[in-house]
């Protein structure tokens, strides 16, 4: 690995000067980010306000119809459902956009064009350059993504119990968009994109690399999240059609008289003679389910966010160490 030869000017620009330089250099990205946050925030306020009220009124009309001819505002129900789905996925996509920008523009393009090396000859040390490059965007990213997640949770809560088709808290999209995980993932994507940009030194390669890394971190979070907090176990009589307990399910099946766990043949209640004979042959006495109830929402969110923030800190440390190694003369 070849070190970058840099002759650093002995001047020491002030932090405001560095920030002004950063804003001028990335002004299009700054305005784009502010535009995204403002537009999505306005759309989420519309979703949780007028759209929710209209959809809830339409559901009241529908539920009051009984068995007769029903006249209700179906368009309001469909409009709410579509807007909720689109806005939820938009909130989840934000961390990927941050990672792509961090890799492709924030670091990768400057390394490729020589802008970074030029800054280092104008009295800006590589370490100070990188600290400014990461700190200011991190504040804006955390504030913007946090606002979107907060508004999404508010909009979802406004429809809970009022709209019959409201997504449950445990659904994949709703769960992740309703808490701080997108904020932690965006900061991880920022640090990961910066690291890949420094390694690749090419804007396009860093952009793709930042997206791939964030997708990997996102997938790993989904796999690890259910195991970051102890599960609750529900034991249900065979008189029911299956195990009870709403939430995020990890495993379920049958319990034998000896306490062993076996697979559920999905026969149903033992009120059916066929199912009763099957359970008797299996020595099954009840259903069981290991799951996370709604009370585990915040513990899971905080644990997953904590893991991502630790990863972001490690990536940031790696970026500084790599930059120091590459600029050592």
* Dist. CA 36–CA 28, nearest whole Å: 12
Give the per-residue pLDDT at 16.
66
Q: Domains of the chain: which residue ranges?
A: 18-226+298-326, 232-296
* Dist. CA 291–CA 296, nearest whole Å: 10
How deeply is 67 buried, as exposed, middle or buried, from its count of CB atoms within 10 A (0-12, 13-18, 19+)?
exposed
Looking at the predicted structure, is the pLDDT value of residue 111 above 80? no
Lowest-pLDDT range of 105-119, 142-156, 232-246? 105-119
In sequence order, which residues have a C-beta less than 8 Å from that of residue 301 and are 6 or more positions away? 178, 179, 180, 181
Looking at the predicted structure, is the pLDDT value of residue 268 above 60? yes
Q: Return the percentage of the chain with pLDDT > 70, whole number.
A: 89
Three-class SS state of 180: coil
Calculate mean pLDDT across residues 280-286.
92
Instruction: Say whether pTM exceeds 0.75.
Output: yes
Taking the CA atoms of 304, 307, 310 and 316 in sequence, report the sign of the dihedral they define.
negative
Q: Write down the H helix ranges in the chain.
A: 15-25, 27-46, 52-63, 74-101, 110-113, 115-120, 126-159, 172-177, 181-200, 203-224, 273-282, 297-326
- Residue 106 DSSP symbol: I
Query: Which tokens is 64 given?
Result: 């009051």
* Dist. CA 225–CA 230, nearest whole Å: 11
Position 261 confidence tier, pLDDT thresholds 50, 70, 90: very high
Calculate mean pLDDT across residues 72-94.
91
């Amino acid at each position: 690995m070849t070190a970058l030869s840099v002759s650093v000017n002995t001047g020491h620009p002030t932090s405001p000067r560095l920030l002004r330089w950063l804003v001028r250099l990335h002004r299009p990205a700054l305005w784009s980010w502010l535009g995204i946050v403002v537009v999505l925030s306005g759309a989420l306020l519309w979703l949780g306000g007028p759209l929710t009220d209209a959809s809830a009124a339409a559901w009241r009309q529908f539920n009051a119809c009984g068995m007769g001819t029903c006249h209700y505002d179906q368009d309001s129900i469909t409009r709410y459902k579509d807007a909720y789905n689109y806005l939820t996925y938009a909130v989840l996509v934000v961390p990927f956009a941050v990672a792509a920008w961090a890799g492709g523009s924030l670091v990768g393009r400057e390394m490729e064009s020589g802008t970074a090396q030029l800054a280092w000859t104008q009295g800006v040390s590589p370490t100070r350059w990188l600290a400014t490059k990461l700190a200011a965007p991190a504040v804006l990213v955390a504030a913007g993504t946090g606002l979107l997640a907060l508004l999404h949770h508010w909009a979802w809560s406004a429809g809970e119990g009022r709209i019959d088709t409201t997504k449950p808290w445990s659904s994949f999209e709703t769960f992740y968009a309703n808490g701080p995980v997108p904020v932690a993932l965006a900061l991880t994507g920022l640090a990961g994109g910066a690291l890949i940009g420094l390694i690749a030194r090419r804007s396009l390669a860093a952009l793709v690399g930042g997206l791939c890394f964030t997708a990997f971190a996102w997938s790993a979070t989904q796999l690890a999240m259910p195991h970051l907090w102890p599960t609750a176990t529900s034991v249900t009589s065979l008189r029911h059609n299956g195990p009870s307990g709403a939430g995020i399910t990890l495993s379920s099946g049958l319990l034998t008289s000896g306490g062993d766990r076996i697979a559920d043949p999905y026969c149903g209640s033992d009120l059916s003679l066929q199912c009763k004979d099957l359970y008797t042959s299996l020595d099954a006495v009840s259903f069981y389910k290991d799951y996370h109830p709604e009370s585990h929402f915040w513990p899971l969110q905080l644990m997953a966010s904590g893991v991502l923030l630790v990863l972001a800190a490690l990536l940031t440390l790696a970026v500084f160490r790599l930059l120091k190694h590459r600029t050592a003369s």
